[in-house]
Amino acid sequence: MIDLFSGLDAWVLVSLLLALTFVLAFEFINGFHDTANAVATVIYTKAMPPHLAVFFSGVFNFLGVLLGGVGVAYAIVHLLPVEMLINVNTGHGLAMVFSLLAAAIAWNLGTWYFGIPASSSHTLIGSILGVGLANALISDIPLGDGVNWQKAIDIGMSLVLSPMAGFAVAALVLLGLKWWRPLSKMHKTPEQRRKLDDKKHPPFWNRLVLVMSAMGVSFVHGSNDGQKGIGLIMLVLIGIVPAQFVLDLNSTTYQIERTRDATLHLSQFYQRNEATLGEFLALGKAKSGDLPEQFSCNPQQTEPTINALLDSLKGVTEYRSLTPEKRVEVRRYLLCLDDTAKKVGKLPGLQAREKADLDKLRKDLTATTEYAPFWVILAVALALGLGTMVGWKRVVLTIGEKIGKQGMTYAQGMSAQITAACAIGMANIFSLPVSTTHVLSSGVAGTMVANKSGLQGGTVKTILLAWILTLPATVALSAGLFWLATKFIV
């Protein structure tokens, strides 16, 4: 790892270390900000002592990051338009990274201080969108091109629908438990359990389910939110030291051959579907040497881009043999071809089988660009895991007592946690970032309604206000910071 940073100018090295510190600080804050939600029910119901709950939650968050992959990480990265990603330089990379991280950290700390279960996912996504929009204004390009809006819409839908699903499903699970065992002790609150049964802890089976579901939420939270930190670090590394990280320098000869074969097969795919795609891609009209000096991702330049990439990879058995400039060039070609293939997949006229083939080609095409070194994954896992172990008290009280007009019962805790674990786990499978905070707190609210406990209007309004304001506030904050940073850094 150390040799990757050798030969850097002192100011670049200092900037890099500072940027990495910012990312890990964000993940540390994310740990005690979001993971408080994962242990809120298990602590409130006294299923586990607080010190054990946060310790094991930290461990499961750590494991979630290690085993979660990088699908969500690059869903976050690709919120930025491909043009911004392929034309990044050190100055813009620094401005981009520090602006979005400063905005995200400031909002996370503020909402945590006031005990508001706001979403780190919304915070991060808003900060990235702000940077993309500010870059569009500064670069004098259309706002519509400043952000990958299709990816933003996909993520926005997952962020909006997941709390609604959490509310409804948790309510249904609770109603099912009440129908199955209407007189069970699981429908008591911790206070009722202490007064009526003179017991401090939940019944054994309820306690076991509460503990297991809390650890499940911690694991899937680590997988989903940890990948966001991984994506941030990869943005930092690619933006500040592109020569070392634009491609996976540890790629095997076989992986490089797969990338080259995917490029060749992509060309054949387009030729096979020329009747449908010929006009969109200008097939047969562009010459192999037609790429402009200032490279831009244009579907009309797909054939020259494919030819240029095949030429660049000809005879290459390891990426380290390429010059730093050539590595950046190869990544630009790969990102551009992937972006165009994504647009092609949405065009009408392609058969479902052809679209499936195109998706497989895209995975092979990006296998050596969508990666994360193990030390990055480990660093994020440690930061998130350690952050879990501090600062949890403020949010636990909000989740346990301030959402409903009555305290949470054991059955409500189980329903909310099982729902959250399943919802976030499904989001991980489809590489969609979701908010642990909103899924769990909406699940608790759903159980309160199903239990006819009623909701505390003040708390619900505060949570909804944070949910509504987070995106515009972080967009504005990161955009303003990026504009200032470009004046001083770039």
Tell how many helices (H) and how many strands (E) occur in the chain.
20, 0
Q: Which two tokens stand for residue 291?
A: 């790429």
Which of 343, 365, 387 finishes a domain?
365
Q: How far apart are the C-alpha atoms of 228 and 77, rounded to whole Å?
A: 9
Phi, psi for 404 (deg, rounded to 5): -100, 165
Q: How far apart are the C-alpha atoms of 246 and 450, rounded to whole Å?
A: 51
Is 238 found in the same domain as 98? yes
Q: Give DSSP secondary structure letters for 421-485.
A: HHHHHHHHHTT----HHHHHHHHHHHHHHHTT--B-HHHHHHHHHHHHHHHHHHHHHHHHHHHHH
Residues contacting residue 348 through CB under 8 Å, at least 6 positions apart: none
Q: How far apart are the C-alpha atoms of 405 and 412, rounded to whole Å?
A: 13
Per-residue pLDDT at 309? 94
Answer yes or no: are the C-beta atoms of 202 and 45 closer than 8 Å.
yes
Residues contacting residue 41 through CB under 8 Å, at least 6 positions apart: 47, 210, 214, 399, 400, 408, 412, 413, 414, 416, 417, 440, 444
Per-residue pLDDT at 293? 66
- 233 residue type, one letter: I
Per-residue pLDDT at 80? 81
Is 391 found in the same domain as 343? no
Answer yes or no: are the C-beta atoms of 184 and 460 closer than 8 Å.
no
Domain count for the chain, please give it.
2
Is 340 found in the same domain as 483? no
Q: Which two tokens stand for residue 56?
A: 């094991």
Which of 349, 365, 381 finishes a domain?
365
Per-residue pLDDT at 389? 72
Is 171 found in the same domain as 147? yes
Is 252 found in the same domain as 239? no
Nearest to 319 by CA among 240, 232, 260, 237: 260
DSSP state letter for 297: -
Q: How far apart are the C-alpha atoms of 426 and 422, rounded to whole Å?
A: 6
Is 230 found in the same domain as 277? no
Is 355 found in the same domain as 306? yes
Sign, Cα dihedral of 88, 89, 94, 99: negative
Per-residue pLDDT at 451? 84
Answer yes or no: are the C-beta atoms of 34 and 225 closer than 8 Å.
yes
Is 474 found in the same domain as 420? yes
Which of 339, 365, 391 finishes a domain?
365
Is 218 found in the same domain as 286? no
Is 350 found in the same domain as 203? no
Could you tell me the mean pLDDT of each successive run of 10 residues in the chain, 490 residues long?
66 84 86 71 84 86 90 85 69 80 87 72 87 86 80 83 92 94 88 86 92 92 88 85 88 94 94 87 69 76 92 93 91 91 87 90 91 93 83 56 67 92 91 84 88 73 77 92 79
Residue found under tokens 């909000």: 398
CA angle 338, 435, 178 (to 5 degrees): 130
What is the Cα 264 distance to its own chain's centre?
31
Half-sphere exposure in the Cβ direction for 308 (13 Å, CA): 24
H helices of 314-409, in order, are 324-345, 352-365, 374-388, 393-397
Q: How far apart are the C-alpha atoms of 208 and 473, rounded to whole Å?
A: 40
Is 341 found in the same domain as 445? no
Answer yes or no: are the C-beta atoms of 81 and 298 closer than 8 Å.
no
Q: How far apart are the C-alpha atoms of 191 and 143, rounded to whole Å?
A: 54
Is 330 found in the same domain as 284? yes
Enclosing domain of residue 463: 2-244+373-488
